[in-house]
Amino acid sequence: MNEPRLSPSLTPGAKVFNANASGPWITNGAVTATANEIYTDIQTLFNELVLQSGGLIEMDARMTLAMAPSLSVALTTTNIYNVNVTDMLKKNFPNLKIETAVQYQNATGGNLLQLIAESIEGQKTGYCAFTEKMRAHGIVRETSSYKQKKSQGTWGTVIFQPFAIASMMGV
């Protein structure tokens, strides 16, 4: 999202693979981050939401974890107790919904991960807006032809509460 009021993206936590101070979950097509490292990155995003909202967002709030489709594979990573990241998320964040979109992929600077609280105290965080989906105007008759104009417009996403969105770049 291109919203100037959003807080800057966080950096992923330290990874054991290649002793990186921070780094991606997937390297050269293989999941290289451990389940705990992946979960910790998502916990960090949630902590950012709590700090930004002054404690208004709780663990049982309806939230969306948005990521690139390739990152969703990392959520199947299992820890030493045979529990994968998805199971840990379901247990600790019962109303968390995971969505994927190719727009979150970034080949050069790492993928984007966003945690979005759907609403705060009954007010939506934001919504997608448009003027009209598609409008067909009247047909104009000419000597040997017809013309018809079609129009539509979009506004993009209208964000009411930018503090309810936390992002991490480079996962």
Tens digit of pLDDT for each residue in 5-55?
Answer: 899 999 998 888 877 667 789 888 899 999 999 999 999 999 999 999 999
- Judge whether 160 and 123 are in contact, CB under 8 Å: yes
The pTM is what?
A: 0.84
Mean per-residue pLDDT over the chain, rounded: 91
Give percent of the chain above pLDDT 70: 96
User: What number is the average pLDDT over the span 89-96?
Assistant: 98
User: Edge-to-edge strands of the sheet including 63-67?
Assistant: 96-100, 63-67, 112-117, 165-169
Rg (CA), the chain: 21
- Position 109 pLDDT exceeds 70: no
Copy the structure tokens of residue 75.
Answer: 């959520």
- The residue with tokens 């996962």 is 171
Which domains are assigned to the chain? 17-120+160-169 (3.30.2320.10)
Copy the structure tokens of residue 153.
Answer: 């417009």
Give the per-residue pLDDT at 4: 84
Copy the structure tokens of residue 114.
Answer: 């966003």
